[in-house]
Structure 1
Amino acid sequence: MKHTTPSTLVLFAVIGTVGGFFLDAGLAAAGQAIVMPPYSLAIVLLVLAAIVVLAALPVRRAVRDRMHNKVDPFYAMRVVLLAKAAALTGSLLGGGGIGILIYLVGRSSVPGGVGSVLMAAAMTAGAVALLVGGLVAERMCTIPPDDENENSGPAAAA
């Protein structure tokens, strides 16, 4: 499995930004209440980031100490998929938070006052923490290249 590429993360962030902005703009144009993410969302995203990294620790220990610790390959696969999903979700939600922030800051009067801007900023920070936690966990589950195969391949012929 390949690592999550920066272009994929940027694409998800752009989709989230456009979606967050137009969601709030559409709701305001329809006379509905705009989306204001609660502070609890930021806390939950931080906790999820910590859980993802903690789930990757046994895999990291097994990768570093190949002789002694064995890890279930299905567990390792699930952790890598969880880490990738966390990174993509963090990117999407972070973009959504940025879109909400752009909408709120671009208005002459901010609904909910400064508190709504702080809530959107907290959500964005929590989403970035989830993104970073997912990327860190994904890298923790990477198996280093075998020493035996270093002399075989295209570079060995030179």
Structure 2
Amino acid sequence: MKYLTLRLLILVAALSFTAGWAADLLAGRLGGPLLSLPWAAGIALLVESLVLLVVGFQVRKIRDGDREITLDRTWGAVTAALAQANAVAGAMIAGWHGLLVIDQLTLVGVRSDQGPLWQVAGITAIGVLLTVIGWVVENFCRLPPDDPEEDNGSGREADGKSTRSRPRPAQEGGMARAEHNRNIRGRRPNRPSTPKGPADD
């Protein structure tokens, strides 16, 4: 499993910022509405992130050796995947609405109602929170650096040692086939006896 990097999140936010600029420019020319998430959607995403953070704390306790928590081991992988999705979605939301904040700031002097500005600024802040929570929870799901099972998908452990030469437990089918092949090699074919002729006497 590949972990998130700060460079990737910045790239996602930058691409979303650019897409938001193009979409806002087109909507402005066509007289369309403000392309922002409503408050209800932002609050729902924030509640989801808080639940993910609570689950992430439980996964971290299990990773650190707490045996009092009963949680299936697959929750670690599921929580890490959700955390990554949360962080990427937050970066997209922050980049998109960051552009809208700049656009709305240019209208402060010519508009008395600043409700749209506060809305896009609030959604931008929620996007940043989603990214931070996703990043933190993903770190909760990482194995310790000295854990022999830590493998970042590159064939090397966290300490740089290769894991490709590590013996893997054989599957049941493989063990059965190997045992069958040994049995076949252990058998010697019975050669037919050659009848003795007159010349052999």
| Smaller-chain TM-score bracket | 0.7 to 0.9
Q: Decide which structure has greater helix share.
A: 1
Q: Which runs of 5+ in 2 are unaligned?
A: 149-156, 163-201
The change in CA–CA distance for 1:71 and 1:146 in structure 2 (over 3 A counts) is: farther
| More deviation, 94-103/106-115 | 106-115
Aligned partners of 1:33 and 1:68: how far apart in 2?
Answer: 52
- The residue type equivalent to 2:53 in the other structure is V
Aligned partners of 1:151 and 1:16: how far apart in 2?
Answer: 36
Contact 2:145/2:159, CA 8 A, preserved across alignment: no
How far 1:37 moved relative to its partner?
A: 3.1
Aligned partners of 1:68 and 1:99: how far apart in 2?
Answer: 47
Aligned to 1:89: 89
| More deviation, 108-117/32-41 | 108-117
Aligned to 2:39: 39
Contact 2:46/2:130, CA 8 A, preserved across alignment: yes
**Aligned counterparts, 1:40-59, within 5 A:** 40-59=40-59
Residues 68-101 of structure 1: per-residue CA shift (max 9 Å, x gap):
6564332211100000000000001010110111
Aligned partners of 1:152 and 1:98: how far apart in 2?
Answer: 40
SS at match of 1:82: helix
Contact 2:53/2:133, CA 8 A, preserved across alignment: yes
How many residues end up aligned between the 2 structures?
154
SS at match of 1:144: coil
SS at match of 1:102: helix
Aligned to 1:61: 61
How far 1:38 moved relative to its partner?
A: 2.5
Q: How large is the RMSD of aligned CA atoms in angstroms? A: 2.7
TM-score, normalised relative to structure 1? 0.83
How far 1:103 moved relative to its partner?
A: 1.8
Higher RCO (C-alpha under 8 Å, 6+ residues apart): 1
Residues 23-56 of structure 1: per-residue CA shift (max 9 Å, x gap):
2221110122222432223322321220111121
Q: Which runs of 5+ in 1 are unaligned?
A: none
- Which structure has the larger Rg over C-alpha atoms? 2
Aligned to 2:12: 12
SS at match of 1:65: coil
Aligned partners of 1:4 and 1:51: how far apart in 2?
Answer: 20
